[in-house]
Amino acid sequence: MIKKIILIIRDILKNIFGKEDLIYIVECLDWSIKWDGLQITSSLNNLNLIKADVRVTTIGLKNKIIHFGSVNTYINIKKGIKKIHSSNKIILTWFHIEKNDPKIKYVSKLNKVVDIIHTSCEETAKILLNNGLDANKILVIPLGVDVNIFKIFSDRKRLELKNKLKIPQDKIIIGSFQKDGVGWGEGLVPKLIKGPDIFCDAILEISKKHSLHVLLTGPSRGYVKKRLREMNITYTHVYLKNYLEIVNYYNMLDLYIISSRVEGGPKALLECWATGVPVVSTRVGMVPDISSDRENVFMVEIDDIKGIIKSVDFIINDRDKTLKIVDNAKECIKKFSWEEIAKKYYNNIYSKII
């Protein structure tokens, strides 16, 4: 709590005295949204497009472009829409919408107070439009990835990483790095939109044919770990303090499974492409927008456990064809570097409202 208070006080002073034109608002939690903000603002600064920085509070901000990095930083279910000084321009990123999402009721109000709502996928854009969002206010720009960090390591380095974490050499290593438990605690209650139940059900069936080890990162993974223990499937879980260290974990994988029912990203798709990891994903979020089944991803329908199992079998049994799909993905990733995505933010959003 003390650390959070110090951070807020620091940012208030920066808000008052800072010279930036764009402020990207993130949650205090050191997780994915914060890293998005850091990547976007640093890319904008490096390209000399606009002076930008990341903050956790809007107190003291005037005459700025304020980009809220997630809907949770702008809309509180109990308190409503955050009040911002009228001299500011407001951008809101809304990644995904759950069924019966209580924030949907604020869409009509957003038409009056927000300049642009950005989302990363056509699916979310369609839901917002169907719920009354002004079509002139919606813009779709996909997520990005730092191609200077997310790279394919040498076989030697991959082996060193496995030895350091005591990852078995004789098993198929399957990755799942997303937060999929409710809240920020242990996560024993599954967040069903992320499909941890689908993941575990598929893993159980796959383990009957192949010797597996599951590699987990991220917070609130209690449900998955409990299920894996009950199924006698070995796993390793590390909650990373620095999100970008996750590149090491991708480089230890044989494949990655995205089993979500709802997504704004998933960011893991791009991170797998950049690190040469074959990825099996449900048809969620930006997956159908930017990829094609058996071309750069193994895409299955939502809740399709049999489809996930079939795709994993293909990856394990047909390495030559899988490598071609991985190579295609490595070519695709060039379009999704954070620099390229930051240019889209600037050209399509920021430059139009300065």
pLDDT of res. 30: 62
The DSSP code sequence of 76-115 is ETTTEEPP--TTSEEEEE-----TT-GGGGGHHHHHHH-S
Q: Which CATH number fits domain 155-335: 3.40.50.2000, 1.10.1060.10, 3.50.50.60, 3.90.1300.10?
A: 3.40.50.2000
| Token pair in block for residue 128 | 């917002």
pLDDT of res. 33: 83
CB 221 within 8 A of CB 228: no
pLDDT tens digits, residue range 170-207?
999 999 999 999 998 999 999 999 999 999 999 999 99
Kindly tell me if the per-residue pLDDT of 335 is higher than 80.
yes
Which of 277, 237, 242, 238 is closest to 257 using CA atoms?
A: 277
**Percent over 90 (pLDDT), the chain:** 91
Q: What's the one-letter identity of residue 340?
A: E
pLDDT of res. 177: 97
Q: Which CATH number fits domain 2-144+338-353: 1.10.1060.10, 3.40.50.2000, 3.30.365.10, 3.30.413.10?
A: 3.40.50.2000
**List of residues 6+ apart from 242 with CB closer than 8 A:** none
Identical fold for domains 2-144+338-353 and 155-335, yes or no, is yes
CB 111 within 8 A of CB 132: yes
pLDDT tens digits, residue range 38-80?
999 999 999 999 999 999 999 999 999 999 999 999 999 889 9
Q: Which residues pair with 337 in a beta bridge?
A: 145
Each domain of the chain, given as residue ranges in start order, spans: 2-144+338-353, 155-335
* Beta strand pairing call for 138-140 and 172-176: unpaired
**List of residues 6+ apart from 32 with CB closer than 8 A:** 243, 267
Least confident of 6-10, 68-72, 178-182, 233-237: 6-10
Helix extents (H) in 131-245: 155-165, 196-207, 222-230
- Cα(269)–Cα(285) distance, integer angstroms: 10
